[in-house]
Amino acid sequence: MASDTAWRQPTVTCQVHFDHDCGLCTHAMRWLRARCAVTPVPLADGAAASALIVVIDGHQQTGASAVRTLLRRCRARRWRALGLVLGVPPLTLVADLGYRAIAANRARISAALGWSACEVP
């Protein structure tokens, strides 16, 4: 099954820029690194409002679009399938709203889970 091995040798570099001061972002990056080939890049101080930026071969994505792309790069079929499903309307709208809600509350979520909480304005 050649398609199942495609993730093992990605043809493009995938950089994930994330807020390394945020517990939720840091735990999400650990989860992601265990499941797909990405290069984590901590965001510079002051750029934390963006929370997540994915750069693949010079093309930048943010928000739910970035999450969908990352899921589609995972090793396990279930995560790749979820990435595809979240790209189907009207689920794209649900994913966008969900991402925004989580990003806006990531300091509270981190604190509630006992992780280091970033100071999001």
pLDDT in tens, 13-64: 799 998 888 889 889 999 999 999 999 998 876 555 556 888 888 899 999 9
Q: What percent of the chain is modeled with pLDDT above 70?
A: 80
Decide the pairing of beta strands 39-42 and 52-56: unpaired
Highest mean pLDDT (candidates 2-11, 22-31, 77-86)? 77-86
Q: What pLDDT is stored for residue 121 in this prediction? A: 44
What is the chain's length? 121
* Residue 99 · residue 53 · CB < 8 Å: no
* Residue 68 · residue 95 · CB < 8 Å: yes
Entry pTM = 0.80
pLDDT confidence of 9, banded at 50, 70, 90?
Answer: very low
